[in-house]
Structure 1
């Protein structure tokens, strides 16, 4: 029997909050149940398993990040779009480290069929890069550059990996300036 007051949405929202507190890899059904003051079994009316719970957190987080990036990009192009995209990405990761980690979970293709908005990050990335005049295969190559730069930066930042006295925000700004220059001057003729 499903406990009154608990819904799948409430369970997943609480799991996302817990992920931000203890880390995505450390969320458990037992910890979540304790937070609700119920037995573990009460949650299985809302999620099938721990893997199902983590997938649901990943989907919720991916949709949230995609919405934030899309909102940031609205009406912008070029350097302004790059900076807005980058800040939305970094701000989300720093404010919600567990949810950000969840966005890195590999989802089954059926998740994208069920939640087409999960593709928003990719479509926003391509829209940003088309603003720089890029087409395939440069779109894929530049998209990989952006993702690896943004992900690498925030992952190191979250882990306390920037110990130099230089302000991290200043380094972020410099990195975005360098990306803008790279995108503006993307090399031609690397089709293989």
Structure 2
């Protein structure tokens, strides 16, 4: 009901599990998917991995009651562009859909706190070394763009900050995704934070 009431959002399908989400994506080619984690047969994390591995992958927001570290990290590493808890106010869910549809990332405040804690954990040393090695392969300008993405800047903000056009920023982000073998901006931000 919430989504159907938004004039700029069209609900094209609803599925009961991850397998159905994949099939419905084939049939309807949605721009954004709201994905739960725990579902019968194929869970939302597996479905997210499958869908984000496609050439023309939809954006995915995981919307769930489960905010355990493992779920958050698996969803983001699988390519989810957002992670919201089901107690997120309806207005924020709508804003998140629009934001993710525009290629930006969205995380609920509780998830952001968990990611900060994750970066600070002792096992981060191995991730840090790997992330630094991957970022070292980038040009100086690409690292600047990656760092700005890691700070949560939009394309327009990066363009203003680095004195370049928005299309140039988009081209840099696309090159970063290809060079780093990542699916979206959230994964770039995770890599940048892992390297810090």
Q: TM-score range by the shorter chain?
A: under 0.3
Return the structure number with greater strand share. Answer: 2
Whichever of the two has the greater Rg, that structure is 1
Q: Which structure exhibits the higher relative contact order, with contacts defined as CA atoms closer than 8 Å and separated by 6 or more residues?
A: 1
Q: TM-score, normalised by structure 2?
A: 0.26
Choose between structure 1 and 2: higher helix proportion.
1
**TM-score, length of structure 1 as denominator length:** 0.27
